Amino acid sequence: MQYIPLEDVRVTLGVEPVDVLKVEPALNSLSADFLLRDDTEIALRVNFDCPTIVRLLDDMPLSTEQHPSELEGIVPYHFAYEVRGHPFLLGQSQVWRDQCRPTHYQFLTGGGCMDVLAPGQPKFVLVPLDKEGLARRNERESDIDD
């Protein structure tokens, strides 16, 4: 598998995504907000304005999915990649792949991963942090720990 780094949001936007906050799929679009290290006011939003297939993984199953020698192109602390030759894309229907001609994108944080198959490219933008969404997320995590 080959990982091709996309825009380095640490450089272009001055932020470091650390975890997925929320994912909002729609019929022909996707929006995902990521928490940022040391910032309680803004989040990084990744938008796709096209049909998508999305997969969210915790860091543990992700770490068992590939042998480290197969991770060609991974850059330490990098967030966004185009991925070539990954089973997630190859496992989708041939009809869908032929019709949409998707690219596989992967967004890696310290807490997990979001894979997106899409015929369009992601757009990155900073948005106000959804504090209600963060509070709900924290409540769910607290319930799991109990």
Q: Could you tell me which residue, 59 or 84, shows the higher pLDDT?
A: 84
Give domain limits for the chain.
2-145
Are the C-beta atoms of residues 126 and 39 closer than 8 Å to each other? Answer: no
Strand order in the sheet with 123-128: 17-26, 29-36, 42-48, 123-128
Q: Distance (Å, rounded) from C-alpha 33 to C-alpha 126? A: 9
Alpha helices in the chain (DSSP H): 9-12, 59-65, 87-90, 94-100, 131-145
Average pLDDT across the chain, whole number: 86
In the predicted structure, residue 3 carries a pLDDT above the cut 70: yes
What's the pLDDT tens digit per position in 101-126?
999 999 998 878 899 999 999 999 99
Which pTM value belongs to this model? Answer: 0.86
What's the pLDDT tens digit per position in 36-56?
988 888 999 999 999 999 999
